[in-house]
Every structure is written in structure tokens, then in C-alpha cells.
């Protein structure tokens, strides 16, 4: 099973989804991992939608990331940006490191965990 997840990680590293920048954005943030040099920038376009007569929420209409890093860092950002399209700020705020680990599907050393969590850190900074 680990081989399947390794293939998925390599695919997202070599062909990252949602890589680039947005022409129109409402939020953006960038962070880096000083220990290894990974750097991730995220840009989000939120859209207000009506949930009910009196309630409007903002959801991610589009999201892009850019930067450089190891396979784990880039794959994590690619997978995460796919996952959060259509989510609200509240849903994004509730994402945890466990969500990232499950999404990647492999065991990570503490050093590699920092690489994997960089995209979540940037995403949560972006919506602040």
C-alpha cells in the first residue's frame, strides 16, 4: 500500500495540481521551512454564497500555490489545494496535521512532517 501512496506523492510532485498564481485573489500568504529551504505561497479567491435566507458564507472558488521544495512539501500542497476547493473558512480552520498525514498516506519522520505541514501552515495563514 505504501508503494501506491509513494506513486501518488511522486505524481503530485512532478505534476502539481493548482500550481501557479491567480489573476484575481482575495487572500495570500507565504511561508518557508528554514531547516530545509522549502517555500510555499498560496493565493485564494473566496466567493460569498448564500447558505440560507439570512446566512452567507465564503467558500474557496479557486486556489493556487507556488514555491519550491522537496517531493513531500510540493505533493502536500498539491493534494491540499485539491481538497479545499469549495470549503469554507471554518472548514479549513478545522483541518489538522492528522488530515495531512492521512492525505499523504505514509509514515513521516519528524523532519518530513515539517515539510508536509508547511502547506497547511500557509493555508491557515492565508485565511487569517
**Residue 58, domain extent:** 2-126
Strand order in the sheet with 39-50: 27-32, 39-50, 56-68
Spatial distance between the Cα atoms of 128 and 115, rounded to a whole number of angstroms? 21
Please give the pLDDT value at position 1.
54
Condensed to tens digits (0 to 9), the pLDDT of residues 8-33 reads: 999 999 999 999 999 999 999 999 99
For the entire predicted model, the pTM comes to 0.92
Q: What is the dihedral of CA 18, 101, 89, 26, to 10 degrees?
A: -30
Please give the pLDDT value at position 2.
65
User: What's the domain count of the chain?
Assistant: 1
Grid cell, residue 105, equals 498516506
How would you classify residue 46: left for phi > 0, otherwise alpha for psi between -120 and 50, otherwise beta?
beta
The CATH number of whichever domain residue 14 belongs to comes to: 3.90.1010.10
Of the two residues 108 and 128, the one the predictor is more confident about is 108
Please give the pLDDT value at position 3.
78
- Find where cell 476547493 sits: 85
What backbone phi and psi angles, to 5 degrees, belong to 23? -70, -40
Condensed to tens digits (0 to 9), the pLDDT of residues 47-102 reads: 998 877 778 889 999 999 999 999 999 999 999 999 999 999 999 999 999 999 99
Residue 117: band (very low, low, confident or very high) from pLDDT cuts 50, 70, 90:
very high
Amino acid at each position: 500500500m505504501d508503494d501506491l501512496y509513494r506513486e501518488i506523492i511522486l505524481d503530485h510532485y512532478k505534476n502539481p495540481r493548482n500550481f501557479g498564481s491567480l489573476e484575481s485573489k482575495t487572500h495570500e500568504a507565504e511561508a518557508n521551512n528554514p531547516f530545509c529551504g522549502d517555500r510555499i505561497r498560496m493565493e485564494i479567491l473566496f466567493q460569498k454564497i448564500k447558505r440560507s435566507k439570512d446566512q452567507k458564507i465564503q467558500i474557496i472558488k479557486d486556489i493556487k500555490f507556488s514555491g519550491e521544495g522537496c517531493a513531500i512539501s510540493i505533493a502536500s500542497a498539491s493534494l491540499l489545494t485539491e481538497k479545499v476547493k469549495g470549503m469554507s473558512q471554518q472548514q479549513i480552520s478545522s483541518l489538522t496535521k492528522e488530515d495531512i498525514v492521512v492525505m499523504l498516506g505514509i509514515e513521516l519522520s519528524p523532519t518530513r512532517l515539517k515539510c508536509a505541514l508547511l502547506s497547511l501552515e500557509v493555508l491557515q495563514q492565508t485565511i487569517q
